[in-house]
Amino acid sequence: MIASPHKERPGARGAMATLSHDSPAISTCVVVGASARSFAESAARAGWSVHAADLFGDRDLGAAATAAVRVGDGGYPRDLPAVVAGFPAGPCAYTGAVENHPEVIAALAEARPLAGCGAAAVRAVRDPIRLAEVVREAGLWFPETHGSPSGLPGDGTFLVKPLASAGGRGIRPWLGDAVQAARPGLCWQRRVRGAEWSVAFVADGRAATLVAAGRPATCRPACGARRFAYSGSLGVPLTQLTDALRAPLDLAGRRITAAFGLVGCFGIDAIVDRRGRIHVLEVNPRPTSSLELVERASGWSAAAGHLAACGWGRAAEPPPAASDVVWGKAIVRMPRGASAPHGDGILAAAEPWTAADGLPAVADIPAAGVVPAVGGPLVTVFACGRTLPQVESLLRQRAVSIRRLVRGLVSRPSAGRRRRPSSRGRTASGTRPRSSPGRSP
């Protein structure tokens, strides 16, 4: 475990600093997860003193948190409760991939107040059979799901998925592999084709409010990501959702919240098929990483909203995002044959993008001496524009530039877009030393 020293944080400016909520009554919060950076930054901007522990120890996590501890491969996630025990009193929130370890959530809840869904709720909502019942009772669709491949065609019409996964890790078409069929912890789900959506809610255990919507960023090859892996998100302003789409998504959020008693921010992944039917795929019962796109577009603090919904502090309703600006993010993977990444070099190369967008263009920069595994997350890159295709194009260009840069090629990225009249926010950075759960949606 490596402790990161406290660093002074320059004051955030621009949209992300326009936060309209009172200072929290309790000033300290704790956040744990595979990657804690985005939640820690959001909480720090809202006035919390953040103590964090995660798998990667990204450079910007150290900048955002009062104290940050990297829990490496040998101890993650098992050692998270022991690390948290040494932090000051305050509620504990968890981020992506921790939902795969309800025993860790239970241990965290024994030691301090839990800001988020309890272990029992997580186990229940992550059970595809129980989730399917709730979804279908609401009049929505859920893919045909089986606990065994017996009798299923091995022609790719079904997907085999780990029950404990994040960011698309381990998902692949089912082609009748007998060895794979013998592995525990899998389910087989009929493949649904259509438009992929992810939505996020803030819940109080009984009711839920839709706060974000997004589409997947289609830039896997440019990012070096494998098929089905989460490679990024495009934020879609809620004002752009049609009634035919928003109404059933709202219904899904309300019914799932009431059935499982979810609290705080959580996400739903869904597919809209050619007939307009909404198929719920899974629920992520914790704050999703794509919520930071809402923060960039509107200035709302997702961390403050999450903590307030769980009983700590107060947060305003999320303001509507500007309907003419789209923010996106992409997870750039470590290329083969690359040298150790130099954080300052990556930040310097991205300066034109930051100047053009008005907010930091890269995040999750590797800490000094940390070399991500080949194919593992290297950095997160951001872009904004007027349309989804424009933002996707920028994300692809920036991802390719960063991968070339760390390979040691002579390639200094250019701004590649017009300048927006927005003030700059503070720089963020941080990374992952390895590929383990990866960055989750």
Instruction: Indicate whether 115 belongs to any domain.
Output: yes
Query: Among 228, 227, 217, which residue's Cα sits nearest to residue 397?
Result: 217
Structure tokens belonging to residue 73: 């491969």
CA distance 235 to 225: 20
Is residue 289 predicted with pLDDT exceeding 80?
A: yes
Structure tokens belonging to residue 434: 């390895």
Is residue 427 predicted with pLDDT exceeding 60?
A: no
Bridging pattern class, strands 158-162 and 186-190: antiparallel
The answer on 110 and 174 residing in a single domain is no
Predicted confidence (pLDDT) per residue in 165-223, tens digit = 766 677 888 988 775 666 778 999 999 999 999 999 999 999 999 999 999 998 889 99
Give the lowest-confidence range in 18-22, 152-156, 179-183, 346-350. Answer: 18-22
Instruction: Indicate whether 423 belongs to any domain.
Output: no
CA distance 27 to 49: 6
Task: Pick the more confident residue, 1 or 122.
Answer: 122
Is residue 8 predicted with pLDDT exceeding 80?
A: no
Is residue 105 predicted with pLDDT exceeding 60?
A: yes
User: What pLDDT does residue 72 have?
Assistant: 81
Q: Are 29 and 23 in contact (CB under 8 A)?
A: no
The answer on 183 and 151 residing in a single domain is yes
User: What pLDDT does residue 116 have?
Assistant: 98
User: What pLDDT does residue 169 have?
Assistant: 72
pLDDT band, residue 292 (cuts 50/70/90) = very high
User: What pLDDT does residue 420 have?
Assistant: 39
CA 66 → CA 28, 44, 50, 289, 368, distances in Å? 9, 9, 6, 21, 19
What stretches of 293-348 adopt beta strand conformation (E)?
A: 326-333
Is residue 362 predicted with pLDDT exceeding 80?
A: yes
Is residue 7 predicted with pLDDT exceeding 50?
A: no
Structure tokens belonging to residue 336: 């083969």
The answer on 118 and 26 residing in a single domain is yes
CA distance 438 to 97: 8
The answer on 168 and 67 residing in a single domain is no
Predicted confidence (pLDDT) per residue in 134-175, tens digit = 999 999 999 999 998 989 999 999 999 888 776 667 788 898
Is residue 91 predicted with pLDDT exceeding 70?
A: yes
User: What pLDDT does residue 319 have?
Assistant: 66
Instruction: Indicate whether 333 belongs to any domain.
Output: no
User: What pLDDT does residue 429 have?
Assistant: 32
Is residue 117 predicted with pLDDT exceeding 50?
A: yes
Tokens 């840069």 — which residue?
405
What CATH code is carried by the domain that includes residue 25? 3.40.50.20
Instruction: Indicate whether 335 belongs to any domain.
Output: no
The answer on 116 and 12 residing in a single domain is yes
The answer on 164 and 107 residing in a single domain is no
Is residue 423 predicted with pLDDT exceeding 70?
A: no
The answer on 70 and 30 residing in a single domain is yes
Is residue 418 predicted with pLDDT exceeding 50?
A: no
Give the SS3 label for residue 328. Answer: strand
> Could you say which of 191, 211, 228 is where a domain stops?
191
The answer on 164 and 57 residing in a single domain is no
Bridging pattern class, strands 67-70 and 49-54: parallel
Instruction: Indicate whether 283 belongs to any domain.
Output: no
Instruction: Indicate whether 103 belongs to any domain.
Output: yes
Tokens 């603090």 — which residue?
301
> Could you say which of 153, 170, 191 is where a domain stops?
191
Give the lowest-confidence range in 67-81, 216-230, 250-264. Answer: 216-230
Mean pLDDT of the chain: 85
Instruction: Indicate whether 258 belongs to any domain.
Output: no
Predicted confidence (pLDDT) per residue in 231-246, tens digit = 899 999 999 999 999 9
User: What pLDDT does residue 421 have?
Assistant: 35
Mean of pLDDT values over 115-127: 97
The answer on 18 and 48 residing in a single domain is yes
Structure tokens belonging to residue 67: 């104290």
The answer on 85 and 38 residing in a single domain is yes
Strand partners, 270: 197, 280
Query: Among 77, 31, 29, which residue's Cα sits nearest to residue 52?
Result: 31
CA 399 → CA 174, 215, 224, 402, distances in Å? 30, 18, 9, 5
Q: Determine the straight-line distance between the first and last CA of the chain, rounded to whole angstroms.
A: 26
Mean of pLDDT values over 39-65: 96
pLDDT band, residue 428 (cuts 50/70/90) = very low
Is residue 30 predicted with pLDDT exceeding 50?
A: yes
Predicted confidence (pLDDT) per residue in 312-328, tens digit = 988 767 767 667 889 99
Bridging pattern class, strands 49-54 and 28-33: parallel
CA distance 50 to 412: 35
Q: How many helical (H) and strand (E) elements, i.e. helices and strands, does the chain have?
A: 14, 17
Mean of pLDDT values over 388-397: 96
C-alpha Rg value of the chain to the nearest Å = 20
Instruction: Indicate whether 14 belongs to any domain.
Output: yes
CA distance 414 to 349: 8
CA distance 121 to 262: 7
The answer on 89 and 18 residing in a single domain is yes
Q: Are 185 and 164 in contact (CB under 8 A)?
A: yes
Number of domains in the chain: 2
The answer on 185 and 101 residing in a single domain is no
Q: Are 293 and 236 in contact (CB under 8 A)?
A: no
The Cβ-side half-sphere exposure at 6, using a 13 Å CA radius, reads 7
The answer, yes or no, to whether the previous bond of 335 is cis (omega within 30 of 0) is no
Q: Are 289 and 98 in contact (CB under 8 A)?
A: no
- Domain assignment of residue 161, given as a range: 144-191
